[in-house]
Amino acid sequence: MRFHVAGLPHTQTTKYYSSCAYTQKVRKFCDMMMSLGHEVYLYASEDNEAACTELITVASKADQREWFGEKTLEDGFGWFNWNSNERHWLIANARTIAEISKRKQPRDIICAIGGGGQQPLGEAFPDLQTVEYGVGYSGVFSKYRVFESYSWMHAVHGARSSVQKIMSDRGQFYDTVIPNYFEVDDFPYSAEKDDYFLFIGRLIEAKGYQIAVDTCKRLDAKLVVAGAGRPPEYGEYVGVVDVEKRGELMSRARGVFVPTLYLEPFGGVHAEAMLCGTPVITTDWGAFCETVQQGVQGYRCRTMREFCDAAASVDKLDYQGIRDYAVSKFSTEVAAKQYDYYFQRLQTLWGDGFYTI
């Protein structure tokens, strides 16, 4: 199969931008599809570490300096606008459409991950299938979508429909669920843990970092905090960390807090921690209900007492079992096969669709 993968206009497709989950999904998705022998045309940045048949630069570093100024990882990505009418999208999309037009063949697949920002790509090529993959946002536009959890797929469907429409709608057979995917080698396993808990992520209220702070204060436990934003008063703040430091911190922590306060579409941090064999402490809704077995890989909590009890109990869990579970669910090797099966299924829609046998 042949894939036209649209990158993102605000980053370069490298591991340096590990704090942008969507940039990393693009990079790893290309690697997975190439590993299966497919052709991948990547329309993205000037610097690139993704495997591809051809890299077509549509957002150079000079472009990004002009569009966004001198932003750094410490600024986070809250400044980035996903509206397709913004100048960076208008230019990147126009270039991508022009370049796809030169290369497209019948039954090619366009892969988009920018939500409404990349909607013009699907509109430009109605003769091809446009697939939104790794969907962890609400602004979906395409007919073909890969969500990261059933919780989020149902939330998006529900938000776009009335109760009456939900009850009367028939199946959307083009949607599927494939969890987010990670390179196992980036997350070293350690059976030995140091005496600290970890919060890593954007330091915004919605990510629930204050729960990690309040829990550790009550237990008089050490907390290490990493990520972009204003650090809390309690805990050792280590700033924005690269892939190597991220794995080191996660593998040695007693537990990793991922107490997202909104309905989490997936929450990559908790999967990364589990790949290190480290228990996770999460809230009890969204994707966590599908990915964290209570008292096995960690604990899902709803009250401060439950968070405190969870933190006091993580040392009893089976670290190797946590690691093995995560590898079986979230590794790129597993996800590649799931994506391949999904795209093979889409190929039948050129024929008899649901009734293909």
The pTM score is 0.93
CA distance 239 to 70: 18
Q: Is the pLDDT of residue 173 over 80?
A: no
Residues 69-83 pLDDT 10s: 988 888 888 889 999
Q: Domain containing 82 — which CATH number? A: 3.40.50.2000
Structural domain for 282, as ranges: 185-329
Contact, 131 vs 146, CB < 8 A?
A: yes
User: Which of 23-27, 157-161, 258-262, 271-275 shows the lowest mean pLDDT across its residues?
Assistant: 157-161
- Say yes or no: 11 and 159 in one domain: yes
Contact, 53 vs 19, CB < 8 A?
A: no
Reduced to 3 states (helix: H, G, I; strand: E, B; else coil), residue 224 is: strand
User: What's the pLDDT band for 158 if we cut at 50, 70, 90?
Assistant: confident
User: What's the pLDDT band for 161 if we cut at 50, 70, 90?
Assistant: confident
User: Cβ–Cβ contacts within 10 Å for residue 4, how many?
Assistant: 24
- Say yes or no: 23 and 172 in one domain: yes
Contact, 281 vs 301, CB < 8 A?
A: yes
Confidence (pLDDT) at 77: 85
Q: Is the pLDDT of residue 95 over 90?
A: yes
Mean per-residue pLDDT for 349-353?
Answer: 75
- Say yes or no: 163 and 226 in one domain: no
Confidence (pLDDT) at 160: 74
- Say yes or no: 148 and 262 in one domain: no
Q: Is the pLDDT of residue 168 over 70?
A: no
User: What's the pLDDT band for 350 if we cut at 50, 70, 90?
Assistant: confident
- Say yes or no: 269 and 148 in one domain: no
Residues 184-213 pLDDT 10s: 999 999 999 999 999 999 999 999 999 999
Beta bridge mates, 281? 257, 299
- Say yes or no: 149 and 203 in one domain: no
Number of domain units in the chain: 2
CA distance 303 to 82: 34
- Say yes or no: 156 and 276 in one domain: no
- Say yes or no: 89 and 193 in one domain: no
Confidence (pLDDT) at 167: 66
Residues 214-258 pLDDT 10s: 999 999 999 999 999 999 999 999 999 999 999 999 999 999 999
Confidence (pLDDT) at 302: 97
Please report which helix (H) or strand (E) contains residue 6, including its range.
strand 2-6
Confidence (pLDDT) at 71: 83
Residues 305-327 pLDDT 10s: 999 999 999 999 999 999 999 99
Q: Is the pLDDT of residue 265 over 90?
A: yes
- Say yes or no: 167 and 206 in one domain: no
Confidence (pLDDT) at 349: 86
Q: Is the pLDDT of residue 304 over 90?
A: yes
Mean per-residue pLDDT for 119-130?
Answer: 96
Contact, 339 vs 178, CB < 8 A?
A: yes
Distances (CA, A) of 202 to 19, 209, 228: 9, 9, 5
What's the per-residue H, E or C state across 257-325? EECCCCCCCCCHHHHHHHHCCCCEEEECCCCHHHHCCECCCEEEECCHHHHHHHHHHHHHCCHHHHHHH
Beta bridge mates, 55? 42
The token pair at 81 is 């606008």
Residues 126-148 pLDDT 10s: 999 999 999 999 889 999 999 99
For residue 242, which of 78, 15, 26 has the smallest C-alpha distance?
A: 15
What's the per-residue H, E or C state across 84-130? CCCHHHHHHHHHHHHHHHHHCCCCCEEEECCHHHHHHHHHHCCCCEE
For residue 334, which of 271, 292, 264, 242 has the smallest C-alpha distance?
A: 271
CA distance 86 to 77: 15
Q: Is the pLDDT of residue 163 over 70?
A: no
Confidence (pLDDT) at 171: 61
The token pair at 243 is 């892939």
- Say yes or no: 13 and 49 in one domain: yes
Mean per-residue pLDDT for 268-287?
Answer: 97
Q: Is the pLDDT of residue 274 over 90?
A: yes
Confidence (pLDDT) at 170: 64
CA distance 224 to 273: 14
For residue 128, which of 142, 147, 113 has the smallest C-alpha distance?
A: 142
- Say yes or no: 177 and 287 in one domain: no
**Chain-wide mean pLDDT for the chain?**
94
Beta bridge mates, 130? 110
- Say yes or no: 163 and 67 in one domain: yes
Reduced to 3 states (helix: H, G, I; strand: E, B; else coil), residue 27 is: helix
Q: Is the pLDDT of residue 151 over 80?
A: yes
The token pair at 47 is 């610097």
Mean per-residue pLDDT for 33-51?
Answer: 97
Confidence (pLDDT) at 50: 98
